[in-house]
Amino acid sequence: MQGREIRVRGQVQGVGFRPFVWQLARDHGIRGEVFNDPHGVLIRATGGDLDGFQAALSARAPALARVDAIESRPCRFATPPAGFVIAASRGQGAETRVTPDTATCPDCLAEIRAPGRRHGYPFTNCTHCGPRFSILHRLPYDRAQTTMADFPLCPACRADYDDPADRRFHAQPIACPECGPRLWLEIAGAVQPGDPIAGAAQALARGHIVAIKALGGFHLACDAANAAAVDLLRARKRRPAKPFALMARADDLAAFCAPTPADLALLHDPAAPVVLVRGTGTLPDSIAPGMACLGVMLPATPLHHLLLEAVPGPLVMTSGNLSGEPQAIANDEARATLGAFADAFLMHDRAIARRLDDSVERAAPRMVIRRARGRVPGTLPLPPGFEDAPPVLALGGQMKSAICLLKGGQALLSHHLGELDEALTWEEFLKAIADYTALFDHRPALVACDAHPLYRATQHAHTLGLPVAEVQHHHAHLAACLAENLWPLGAGPVAGIVLDGTGAGADGTIWGGEVLLGDYRGALRIAHLTPAPLVGGDLAAREPWRNLLVRLDQAGLGALADRLFPDLPRDTLRAAARAGLNAPACSSAGRLFDAVAAALGLCQPRQSHEGEAAMRLEALAEGITAAPYPLAGLDPAPMFHALAADLAAGTPPGMISARFHAGLAHAFAAPARALVEQGRAQAVALSGGCFQNARLLAETLAALGDVPVLTHRETPANDGGLALGQAVIAAARQIAGPVSG
């Protein structure tokens, strides 16, 4: 019997795609079967309106599905099918996408609030929501391959699971109080009687710290309106100033922040990320010291919804870890590592397969600052020209570590791993390589890494027994931006403005404020910020005054530095700078931000977390419009003379910050724009961690005018996107063809 075989590729497993196909087949009079396999979903169909059926597969796909391609060919049925069935998964391997963890859908939220067997059940989910990547051991995505294998289905849940007309058909995390995970409240090692949600709410109301087991790991929570509780959490966690994330119900947002329509849309996204939203000043300053924006997320699971309905107002909801270390995911691990922080533990017995921090994002301008829970393991299509790209494993950088895999025309950028200097983060890095390569059946032909010889990831690359492609740090930033924007392999060079902290330069110095001209295969340094000694190496990134001292001395303003820092070891640093003793030349824009922040007295004598000085400087400029400071090309000496005059005149710090942002943007936009106007570049690409600064990004876009501009939106501009750039550069070097430009 004649029929049609239809292949659907993309994010089509674990999203209710097979029951959707089953219902669609009934609507169109189709007979046959549908099943999962390593490549996605395969349909064998006959009868009825086959053309209309195939067209509806993408036009009416489930909300969580991402259909990349639909392919069809004729097929024959040896025996005419009597109806349409959902068949068991077939095959081994992984050529399809895994769905990220997804926030609770409206139907499940209504169910936990209504009478019934799942009333108040904190692990309610269906094919449209719930845990996915955080519980998955291996593909194909079936219950036996997840941490839910420990919970055999009761008859009622089995009936839901087996019914194609039910929204829980083949929802692998399906559960109820009879057969699923259980929740309890633990204090001092003892399980507390009564409702654990009510008990946790009472502990929070008393100003206690509660460790809560979430999707990708433990959070530490406290009452965000209780300044004493917030201060207690900061003291226990040894986190003096880094902003805390908040979780609140949508109806409570207006009490402490002012979300825009774009903010609200992103807050309600199925990924449920932490969104940077302007605060209104009604919460304690210690939530986000010196910041204009608050990191806010809505409840992502039924557990969070139930807890937020039992407490008034927002909760601090920060990662359950000691600052710098990975968050705890296992119950015993949490007891051991968080016992000194938490007064109580809200725990459950569903295992977490991998650690996933919360994603952090901004709505306008759109940017992903930390790519994690809810966004991974979503894949990115490779640009035209990369169809023959070899399988590449890219290992990223030293900070904000993430890895990237290229396979089958897609790039898989991993979740945020952290700083590889930390021993526990290094262990997570090694686990992530093994985890991702096994889960996605990835067999790399080569490995890509940063060119810095002392980065741990770089050293590890040379132990894997594969060809190694070392990639200059800022070239990788540029290529990551090109790849996200699907810039074709042969489309010609672009001008890249790459501004970040530090990266090993091709000339042996430290770069960080560059204008590059290049593409995937190579990049030429066209202009750069005038270098200054990075006295103390990494210590200069922690003590902003060091950067101001050398910049003022360069500008002939050493006397101002003497007045600003009378009690700091200026002479020692100056001697080290003159001798070149642990004082490499550095063109970093990030360190220039630190210098200007230090001039305004911010973060003295040191900052408590990476980027604190720059973040506070950005917050000062909120809502202020100012003329730019002058720079001589990319030499900031004239800027420091103007800044010194403003300090002497008592100019408000916010105005100084605004003038600095505008001046830096104009200075870098000029040579980049010139490359486009001269026909040497086709567009301008903006990358590097400094472009997480929304003010700098906006000023740079304005200064570039009408030239084509590429920016990061779905991948981090910071080092969290480096691995993507490394991967496509390594692939481009392997692909035959002329070098552009």
- Active-site annotation, residues: 18, 36
Angle, CA 84 vertex, CA 83 and CA 87 arms, to 5°: 130
Say which residue the tokens 């993309």 belong to: 10
Q: Please say whether the beta carbons of 65 and 74 come within 8 A.
A: no
Retrieve residue 286's tokens.
């210690």
- What letter would DSSP give residue 129? B
Retrieve residue 345's tokens.
């533990």
Retrieve residue 474's tokens.
């800022």
Q: Please say whether the beta carbons of 514 and 587 come within 8 A.
A: yes
Radius of gyration of the chain (CA): 27
662 Cβ partners below 8 Å, 6+ apart?
Answer: 626, 627, 628, 629, 699
Euclidean distance between CA atoms 219 and 297, whole angstroms = 13
Cβ neighbours around 623 below 10 Å, total: 8
- What letter would DSSP give residue 72? E
Closest CA to 437 of 407, 468, 410: 407
Euclidean distance between CA atoms 574 and 393, whole angstroms = 43
Euclidean distance between CA atoms 292 and 281, whole angstroms = 9
Q: Please say whether the beta carbons of 662 and 625 come within 8 A.
A: no
Do you know the residue count of the chain? 741
158 Cβ partners below 8 Å, 6+ apart?
Answer: none
Euclidean distance between CA atoms 379 and 440, whole angstroms = 11
Euclidean distance between CA atoms 741 and 326, whole angstroms = 44
Question: How far, CA to CA in Å, does 464 sit from each of 447, 493, 665?
Answer: 8, 32, 41
3-class secondary structure, 497: strand
DSSP H/E element including 220: strand 218-223
Tell me the one-letter amino acid at 573.
L
3-class secondary structure, 733: helix
Angle, CA 377 vertex, CA 373 and CA 380 arms, to 5°: 120
Dump the DSSP string for 537-603.
TTHHHH-HHHHHHHHHHHTT-HHHHHHH-TTS-HHHHHHHHHHTTT--EE--HHHHHHHHHHHTTTT
SS3 content of the chain, % helix, strand, coil (to 5): 35, 20, 45
